[in-house]
Amino acid sequence: MYNGKVIICDDEVEILRYLSKILSAKGLELEVFSSGTSLMSVMENRGMDDVDLMLLDVKMPDVDGLEILQRVKRMKLEVPVVMMTAYASINSAIEAMKLGAYDYVTKPFPKEKIFGILEKVLERRELLKENSALKDELGIPSGATPLIFASETFRRVHDMAMLVAQSESNVVILGESGTGKELIASLIHNNSPRAKERFLTINCAALSDTLLESQLFGHVKGAFTGAINAQKGLLEAANHGTLFLDEVGDMSPAIQAKLLRVLQEGDFIPVGDTKARSVDIRFVAATNKDLEEEVREKRFREDLFFRLNVISLHLPPLRDRGEDIELLARHFLTKYAARMKREITDFTREAMQLLKSYNWPGNIRELENAIERAAILTRGNTITAETLPVWRTAQVPEPKQNGGKRLVSLETIEREHILHVLKASGNNKSRAAKILEIARRTLDRKIEEYGLEDEGIR
Ligand SMILES: Nc1ncnc2c1ncn2[C@@H]1O[C@H](COP(=O)(O)OP(=O)(O)OP(=O)(O)O)[C@@H](O)[C@H]1O
């Protein structure tokens, strides 16, 4: 039994009768129209918010199915539209898909075909509802990035973050790149007593020392060459709010010392100034380094570590939260399909299997990029395995044959070559980057992108 409402519009009474019978037997609420004109007028007057699926005949004497579909799209109605066509008008079905139809069926069709579509549609409706319920639960205004998860592992971190949010303590968030550290930091801020104040972020690894210093502390006019005007720093701008220090493990000793003063004394001196300014800031810092190891190796100040690390949260990598993969993949699909105004609503079983079995070294960011790319490459309304970038690293790629020669993609060759050079240089990444004539950062990115950590490259 299903729970939902379906609109059927067809000028053939036989079809109306057949569909009414099989769908009402499944407990669905139905609204039946025998002409396009009557459906159009209801649509314009009442909207379609309460409807879960529209089944439209392509060919009708007055207003045909394609015109109705176009109107649905122009009115930006969310309802999925499935076209029913006779075999002879298969071209119109293709046209309908281009116009954004959810799917099409060729008459005569078995009832299982319609039930299959219905299941997907209703599942999608549940997912959308679930997402918006999550948003409400987390107090995230729609538009902000919702936090999606189903796993117990992540729920524990989430609950801890919500608890920590209430306190004034500084927090360190640990976790691999792309695991959602910044998202958790903003969750902490949004649920803290400082929620009405600003949440500012700075990436300590992306800036040179001088730039990081002036961005954080600000500078007075003439403090250094090029400082034509005085500039407020982030510390001043984030006063009373939260400052998120991303990649804090990459901060130089000089800046670490200056930051320590802010944490200890509650004040700072802008570059080139003499007068200290007091601030009240909650710090949330993140790193994908092992900060304790950095302290042991004397690369990170112990006193600063203790000041920042009052509470630490560890975000698990995506490969340890298998239950979240499907939910996240569907969430990103909904996001990118909507952004591209495409009706891509599902994954083939093989594609979903592939997503679940890959180990996601780049975590959620990598998954999000993979889904965005697949949505661009997909022609129909279902994501297939071939459109997923992880396809190439999977165990099962079918090499294309051409006259007996094995043809592989350029990416496969690049991956193999990088691996070869890395191994040949004894896993020395700087040397490998020189041999490959690429920047060290580029090499790191490619190692991550191609999942070479799995091949013993660290
Ligand atoms: N649970 C989640 N639900 C939905 N989106 C998520 C979730 N976790 C992460 N994301 C998305 O994944 C991307 C990476 O997340 P984020 O930037 O927070 O990771 P990070 O750990 O701070 O990465 P880095 O260490 O590289 O800075 C973002 O686009 C974020 O919106």
More confident call, 23 vs 133 = 23
More confident residue, 365 or 48: 365
Cα-only R_g, the chain = 28
Residue boundaries of the structural domains of the chain: 5-133, 152-314, 320-390, 405-455
- CATH fold match for the domains 152-314 and 405-455: no
CB neighbours (10 Å) of residue 430?
A: 10
What 3-state DSSP class applies to 437? coil
Instruction: Indicate the average pLDDT of the chain.
Output: 85
Taking the C-alpha atoms of residue 345 and residue 381, their distance in angstroms, rounded to an integer, is: 6
pLDDT at 301 > cutoff 50: yes
pLDDT at residue 407, as a whole number: 56
Give the dihedral sign, CA 439/179/296/256: positive
Q: Which atom of ligand 1 is nearest to the CA of 367?
A: 12
Nearest CA to ligand 1 atom 29: 365
CA 375 and chain centroid, separation:
13
pLDDT over threshold 90, residue 259: yes
Assess whether pLDDT exceeds 90 at residue 88. Answer: no
The ipTM is 0.97
Q: Measured from the CB, is residue 202 less than 6 Å from ligand 1?
A: no
Report which ligand 1 atom has the smallest distance to the Cα of 364: 12
Of ligand 1's listed atoms, the one at least distance from the Cα of 288 is: 25
- Ligand 1 center to residue 414 CA distance, Å? 27
The confidence score (pLDDT) of residue 398 equals 44
pLDDT of 136 higher than 60: no
Q: Ligand 1: which of 140, 145, 204, 335 to mutate, judged by most atoms within 8 Å of the beta carbon?
A: 145
Which of 3.50.50.60, 3.40.50.300, 3.40.50.2300, 3.40.50.360 is the CATH number of 5-133?
Answer: 3.40.50.2300
Whole-number pLDDT of residue 427: 82
Provide φ and ψ at 4, rounded to 5°. 175, 175
Ligand 1 pocket mutation, candidates 202, 328, 365, 369, criterion most atoms within 8 A of CB: 365
Judge contact between 309 and 170, C-beta under 8 A: yes
Query: What is the pLDDT confidence band of residue 49, given thresholds at 50, 70 and 90?
Result: confident
Rounded distance, CA 326 to CA 353, Å? 9
Percent above pLDDT 90 for the chain: 43
**How does pLDDT run across 96-116, given as a tens digit for each residue?**
887 888 888 888 888 888 998
pLDDT tens-digit map of 267-283: 999 888 888 899 999 99
Residue 382 CB: number of other CB atoms within 10 A?
Answer: 16
Residue 131: pLDDT band (50, 70, 90) is low
User: For residue 103, what are the β-bridge partners?
Assistant: 82
Cα–ligand 1 centroid distance for 145 (angstroms):
9
Distance CA 122, CA 10 (A): 22
* CATH superfamily of this structure's domain 152-314: P-loop containing nucleotide triphosphate hydrolases (3.40.50.300)
Which residue of 247, 335, 364 sits with most ligand 1 atoms within 8 Å of its CB, as the best mutation to test the pocket? 364
Query: Given this model, what pLDDT does residue 450 score?
Result: 84
Ligand 1 site, residue 178, Cβ cutoff 6 A: yes
Nearest CA to ligand 1 atom 9: 180
Q: Is the CB of 148 under 6 A from ligand 1?
A: yes
What confidence category does residue 404 fall into, taking pLDDT thresholds of 50, 70 and 90? very low
Greater confidence, 273 or 315?
315
Q: 0.80 cut: is pTM over it?
A: no
Start-to-end Cα distance in the chain: 52
DSSP-assigned letters across all residues of 144-190: BPPP----HHHHHHHHHHHHHHHS---EEEE--TTSSHHHHHHHHHH
Residue 275 C-beta-side C-alpha neighbours within 13 Å: 3
145 lines ligand 1 (CB under 6 A): yes
pLDDT of residue 89 exceeding 50? yes
Q: What pLDDT shows up at residue 140?
A: 46
Distance (Å) from CA 147 to ligand 1 centroid: 9
User: pLDDT at residue 11 above 70?
Assistant: yes
Cβ atoms 81, 7 nearer than 8 A: no
pLDDT value at position 50?
Answer: 85
Identify the band that residue 405 occupies on the pLDDT scale cut at 50, 70 and 90: very low
Residue found by looking up tokens 């918010």 in the block: 49
> Which of 179, 183, 331, 441, when mutated, tests ligand 1's pocket best, judged by the most ligand atoms within 8 Å of its CB?
183
pLDDT band at residue 144 under the 50/70/90 scheme:
low
Q: Which atom of ligand 1 is nearest to the CA of 148?
A: 3
Pull the structure tokens for residue 196.
């009405």
Q: pLDDT category, 434, cuts 50, 70, 90?
A: confident
What separation in Å is there between the alpha carbon of 337 and the centre of ligand 1? 19
List, for residues 360-399, the tens digit of each pLDDT value: 888 999 899 899 888 888 888 999 988 887 665 554 444 4
What spacing in Å lies between the alpha carbon of 394 and ligand 1's midpoint?
A: 24
- Residue of minimum CA distance from atom 25 in ligand 1: 177
CATH topology for the 405-455 domain = Arc Repressor Mutant, subunit A (1.10.10)
pLDDT band for position 408 (50/70/90)?
Answer: low
How many CB atoms neighbour CB 83 within 10 A? Answer: 27
Predicted confidence at residue 399, as pLDDT, reads: 45
User: Class for domain 320-390, per CATH?
Assistant: mainly alpha
What is the spatial distance between Cα 170 and Cα 266, in angstroms, rounded to a whole number? 13
Is the pLDDT confidence value at 305 over 90? Answer: yes
Q: What is the mean pLDDT of residues 18-40?
A: 91
**Ligand 1 binding pocket includes 149 (Cβ within 6 Å):** yes
Average of per-residue pLDDT across 219-238: 80
pLDDT 10s digits, 179-227: 999 999 999 999 999 998 889 989 888 788 888 888 899 888 877 776 6
